[in-house]
């Protein structure tokens, strides 16, 4: 490793300055600025090419171990990259949501699979879906029914997953399955990696209210997977799930805060334009301040969480705080955007109006996806605050 590369790994300010210079001076990046995609599939494919460009330049390899195609460094490198992308008017590639959720768990619990598959993910050549929820097991993952049974050296997976992130286009699925008896609850779960092209895998897109296929239901009909596609120990999937949920609820919050800060700046410009033409409605300035305060609160909380995860510490149930704050930011920000845009939000056809409308529809799921806000508050009450159970003495 040369001196400059060593400096990037040890000096976060040098890394941030290098990323910032690259993003602001490379004309090839203009094709990703101010783009509105008509479909989720189109968006994820286009933004995966951005991931590939960042990989070739080395910037998104920092924060990942060399064994999986990285250059070393810590999670804070990845967080810095997401900040700089948003600040430069570029998208945070959609596939990084699952990369940040599933990648760290793969590195820790299945390094052989991480070495085999994560480099292609970092290059933007593939992305994965997360198969946790089921028709009768959403927030109660311990009640899931999709099974994996051992058959010789292989595992055979049968069942159905619902609300699978990136399910329409994912190349692989990381699934929580039951390997123990039905009554074993969370003690009888395992985590497996299933290739989309395996015989017996069927994915059916699920459109959200805005019309986009953000999710999918995935069916596994006696899907045979290699024995080494287990992530962690047999019946040890709950520990893997709890580990990766720390990243899902915190790093995703960091990414969303980076995007939200850029969106707040857009709202300030929109409010100024409104003031110059027809005046600002009563209470709008206060609401804009409240939204900004919520975003800054999320960022402050996410900063602490990212620092702890980067240092190898376990966050545990406190990560639910990040998820609750994120839901407040998403709903409040896009509700205010809807009001500021007025008729343009409802019927506008230009790029920005369509983008705001699509983002508003997606924000409606913020209090549900990844564990509902009610479940998050219950986790905090039970496991962080130690409050008495409802109806208890």
Q: Is 393 exposed, middle or buried (0-12, 13-18, 19+ CB in 10 A)?
A: exposed
Catalytic site includes residue 248: yes
Catalytic, out of 47, 248, 318, 330: 248
CB 157 within 8 A of CB 220: yes
Length of the chain counted residue by residue: 393
User: Which residue intervals of the chain are DSSP H helices?
Assistant: 3-10, 12-25, 40-57, 75-87, 96-109, 111-122, 237-277, 284-310, 319-341, 343-347, 351-363, 373-379
Q: Given the structure tokens 């605050």, which residue do they identify?
A: 385
SS3 101: helix
Distance CA 350, CA 106 (A): 41
3-state secondary structure (DSSP) of residue 102:
helix
Supply φ then ψ for residue 337, to 5 degrees: -60, -40
Residues assigned a catalytic role: 248
């Amino acid at each position: 490793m040369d001196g400059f590369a060593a400096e990037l790994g040890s000096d976060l300010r040098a890394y941030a300055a290098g990323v910032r210079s690259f993003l602001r001076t490379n004309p090839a990046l203009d094709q990703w600025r101010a783009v509105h995609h008509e479909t989720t599939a189109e968006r994820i494919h286009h933004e995966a090419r951005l991931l590939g460009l960042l990989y070739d330049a080395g910037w998104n390899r920092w924060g990942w171990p060399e064994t999986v195609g990285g250059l070393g460094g810590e999670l804070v490198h990845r967080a810095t990259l997401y900040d700089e992308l948003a600040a430069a008017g570029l998208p945070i590639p959609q596939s990084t949501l699952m990369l940040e959720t599933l990648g760290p768990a793969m590195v820790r619990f299945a390094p052989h699979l991480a070495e085999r598959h994560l480099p292609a993910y970092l290059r933007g050549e593939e992305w994965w879906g997360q198969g946790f929820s089921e028709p009768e097991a959403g927030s109660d993952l311990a009640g899931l029914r999709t099974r994996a049974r051992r058959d010789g050296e292989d595992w055979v997976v049968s069942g159905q997953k619902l609300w699978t992130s990136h399910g329409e286009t994912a190349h692989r699925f990381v699934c929580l399955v039951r390997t123990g008896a039905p009554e074993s609850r969370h003690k009888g779960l395992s985590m497996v990696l299933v290739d989309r092209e395996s015989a017996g895998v069927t994915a059916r897109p699920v459109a959200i209210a805005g019309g986009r296929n953000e999710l999918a239901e995935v069916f596994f009909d006696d899907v045979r997977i290699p024995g080494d596609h287990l992530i962690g120990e047999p019946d040890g999937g709950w520990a893997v799930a709890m580990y990766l949920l720390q990243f899902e609820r915190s790093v995703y919050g960091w990414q969303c805060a980076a995007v939200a800060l850029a969106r707040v700046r857009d709202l300030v410009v929109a409010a100024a334009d409104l003031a110059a033409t027809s005046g600002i409605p009563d209470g709008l300035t206060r609401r804009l301040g409240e939204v900004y305060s919520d975003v800054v609160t999320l960022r402050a909380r996410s900063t602490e969480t990212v620092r702890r995860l980067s240092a190898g510490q376990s966050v545990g149930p406190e990560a639910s705080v990040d998820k609750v704050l994120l839901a407040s930011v998403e709903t409040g920000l896009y509700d205010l955007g809807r009001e500021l845009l007025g008729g343009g939000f409802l019927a506008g056809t230009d790029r920005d109006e369509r983008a705001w409308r699509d983002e508003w529809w997606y924000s409606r799921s913020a209090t549900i996806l990844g564990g509902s806000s009610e479940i998050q508050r219950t986790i905090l009450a039970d496991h962080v605050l130690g409050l008495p159970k409802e109806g208890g003495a």
